[in-house]
């Protein structure tokens, strides 16, 4: 079986490299190595940080995208940090959060930012500004019930208000709104199988976005590291803070696809969806065996 190359729109690093700290050469190294895993397009994702550090890393990633490397195409930046709700902060450091205003976004604004995760319930005038710029807006780390002004949802179920039968919530809105693209971390850790079944039954197949949300420890020997100003401990399966807060995934997209296939939950359409969401095309393809192991990557 052949499919298009995978697109990863939400991950914070891998192979021991953290996009919030990486050099241009390190970002290029990730792009080169991740292509050998079947991932042909990436949106390096920045976690909450100071304005100064975010600006620096935007420039680093942008410069890396301009390098001619035989690797995954760097399609843009996913800004997950600074416009979130402290009530659903997860591993993010809320001391860096800013009010959701266009003026605050202009402090770090760059045309290479293609996706912004934010808390719609805290919006002042940021959503209107981002919509005019054509930037994908995703509801995440939030409690909003009304998310119709967004393009999608970030790691659905995780760090958002849960389903309630008595009122609206972010998760409920994500599941019932067929116009929204919704990310899901199907690594077997972030979302239980029953919730995955509900998600896949609720969302149209063409609106599912598989992501890894993976961390620098992914496919590396690292067991302890600092991420989002927190000490993170990786036990081989989970990466958490000392208090047990999940910091992100430790699987790459091909690993997650194999997990889903073993549960009979994977659809080939899921690989196509990011192409449609971002209106992109990439050269190359993947040949898989019947168990969704990669046999060969065609450039």
What's the pLDDT tens digit per position in 235-246?
999 999 999 999
CB 49 within 8 A of CB 81: yes
211 pLDDT exceeds 90? yes
State residue 189's pLDDT score: 97
Q: Two tokens at 117?
A: 């995760």
154 pLDDT exceeds 90? yes
Exposure of 242 by Cβ count < 10 A (0-12 exposed, 13-18 middle, 19+ buried)? exposed
68 pLDDT exceeds 90? no
175 pLDDT exceeds 90? yes
Q: Two tokens at 191?
A: 């979302």
The per-residue pLDDT of the chain, averaged, comes to 97
194 pLDDT exceeds 90? yes
Q: C-alpha dihedral over 195, 196, 201, 202, to 10 degrees?
A: 70
What mean pLDDT is predicted for residues 151-163?
98
- pLDDT tens digit string along 97-113? 999 999 999 999 999 99
23 pLDDT exceeds 90? yes
What mean pLDDT is predicted for residues 277-292?
96
What mean pLDDT is predicted for residues 226-231?
98
- As its CATH architecture, domain 2-298 has Alpha-Beta Barrel (3.20)
CB 144 within 8 A of CB 131: no
What pTM did the predictor assign? 0.98
State residue 122's pLDDT score: 98
What mean pLDDT is predicted for residues 135-147?
98
299 pLDDT exceeds 90? no
CB 209 within 8 A of CB 277: yes
State residue 264's pLDDT score: 97
Which of helix, strand or coil describes residue 287? strand
* Distant-in-sequence, close-in-space partners of 156: CB < 8 Å, separation ≥ 6: 171, 174, 175, 182, 183, 184, 191, 199
State residue 257's pLDDT score: 98
């Amino acid at each position: 079986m052949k499919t298009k190359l995978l697109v990863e729109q939400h991950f914070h690093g891998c192979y021991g490299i953290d996009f919030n700290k990486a050099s241009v050469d390190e970002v290029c190294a990730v792009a080169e190595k991740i292509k050998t895993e079947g991932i042909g397009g990436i949106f390096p994702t920045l976690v909450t940080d100071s304005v100064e550090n975010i600006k620096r890393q935007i420039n680093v990633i942008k410069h890396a995208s301009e390098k001619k490397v035989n690797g995954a195409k760097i399609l843009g930046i996913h800004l997950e940090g600074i416009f979130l709700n402290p009530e659903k902060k997860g591993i993010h450091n809320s001391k860096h959060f800013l009010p959701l205003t266009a003026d605050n976004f202009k402090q770090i604004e760059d045309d290479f930012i293609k996706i912004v995760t934010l808390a719609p319930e805290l919006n002042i005038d940021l959503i209107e500004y981002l919509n005019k710029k054509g930037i994908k807006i995703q509801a995440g780390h939030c409690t909003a019930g009304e998310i119709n002004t967004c393009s999608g949802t970030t790691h659905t179920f995780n760090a958002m208000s849960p389903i309630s039968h008595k009122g609206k919530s972010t998760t409920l809105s994500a599941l019932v709104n067929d116009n929204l693209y919704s990310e899901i971390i199907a690594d077997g850790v972030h979302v239980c199988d029953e919730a995955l079944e509900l998600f896949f039954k609720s969302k149209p197949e063409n609106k599912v976005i598989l992501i890894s949300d993976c961390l620098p420890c992914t496919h590396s020997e690292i067991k302890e590291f600092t991420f989002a100003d927190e000490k993170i401990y990786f036990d081989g399966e989970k990466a958490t803070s000392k208090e047990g807060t999940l910091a992100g995934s430790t699987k790459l997209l091909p690993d997650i696809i194999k997990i889903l296939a073993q549960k009979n939950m994977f659809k080939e359409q899921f690989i196509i969806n990011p192409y449609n969401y971002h209106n992109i095309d990439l050269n190359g393809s993947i040949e898989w065996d019947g168990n969704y192991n990669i046999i060969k990557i065609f450039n």
